[in-house]
Amino acid sequence: MDKYILAIESSCDDTSAAVFRNNVVLSNKVAGQAIHEQYGGVVPELASREHQKNIVPVVDVALKEAGITANQINAVAYTRGPGLMGSLLVGVSFAKGFALANNIPLIEVNHLQAHVLAHFIQEENNKIEQPEFPFLCLLVSGGNSQIILVKDYLDMEIIGQTIDDAAGEAFDKCAKVMGLPYPGGPLIDKYAKSGNPDAFSFAKPSVKNYDYSFSGLKTSFLYFLRDNIKTNPEFINENKEDLCASLQKTIVDILLLKLTKAAKDLNINHLALAGGVSANSELRQRFLDLADNKTKTFIPKFSYTTDNAAMVGISGYYKYLKNIFGSQSNAPFSRIDF
What's the Rg (C-alpha) of the chain?
Answer: 20
Q: How many CB atoms lie within 10 A of CB 247?
A: 26
* Distance of closest approach, residue 153 Cβ to ligand KG4, in angstroms: 20
Q: Which of residues 2-41 bind ligand KG4 (CB under 6 A)?
A: 12
313 makes contact with ligand KG4 (CB under 6 A): no
Choose one: 100-108, 166-174, 205-213, 285-293; the region binding ligand KG4 (CB under 6 A). Answer: 166-174
Question: How many Å apart are CA 175 and CA 244, to the nearest integer?
Answer: 8
Question: How many Å apart are CA 214 and CA 170, to the nearest integer?
Answer: 6
141 makes contact with ligand KG4 (CB under 6 A): yes
Q: Which is nearer to ligand KG4, 3 or 164 (CB)?
A: 164
Choose one: 23-31, 50-58, 127-135, 168-176; the region binding ligand KG4 (CB under 6 A). Answer: 168-176
* Distance of closest approach, residue 276 Cβ to ligand KG4, in angstroms: 2
Question: How many Å apart are CA 232 and CA 238, to the nearest integer?
Answer: 9
Exposure pattern of 280-308 as b/e (b: 16+ CB <10 Å)? bebbbeebeeeeeeeebbbbbeeebbbbb
Site string for ligand KG4, 87-126 (x = CB under 6 A): ----------------------------------------
Choose one: 46-54, 102-110, 181-189, 329-337; the region binding ligand KG4 (CB under 6 A). Answer: 181-189
* Distance of closest approach, residue 174 Cβ to ligand KG4, in angstroms: 10
Q: Which of residues 263-282 bind ligand KG4 (CB under 6 A)?
A: 275-277, 279-280
Sheet strand arrangement including 135-140: 155-161, 145-152, 135-140, 270-274, 296-298
State which of residues 15, 28, 306, 315 lies at the interface with ligand KG4 (CB under 6 A).
306
| CA 34 to chain CA centroid, nearest Å | 18
Question: How many Å apart are CA 153 and CA 319, to the nearest integer?
Answer: 9
State which of residues 4, 120, 171, 224 lies at the interface with ligand KG4 (CB under 6 A).
171
Choose one: 147-155, 178-186, 221-229, 310-318; the region binding ligand KG4 (CB under 6 A). Answer: 178-186
**Cis geometry, peptide bond prior to residue 181 (ω within 30 degrees of 0):** no
Please count the CA atoms within 13 angstroms of the CA of 14 that sit on its side-chain side: 20
Burial class (CB in 10 A: 0-12, 13-18, 19+), 3: middle
Q: How many residues bind ligand KG4 (CB under 6 A)?
A: 19
CA dihedral 149, 151, 154, 155 (to 10 degrees): -70
Q: Which is nearer to ligand KG4, 64 or 190 (CB)?
A: 190
Q: Which is nearer to ligand KG4, 38 or 323 (CB)?
A: 38
State which of residues 183, 316, 326, 332 lies at the interface with ligand KG4 (CB under 6 A).
183
Residues in contact with ligand KG4 by CB under 6 A are 12, 141-143, 168, 171-172, 183, 185-186, 188-189, 275-277, 279-280, 306-307
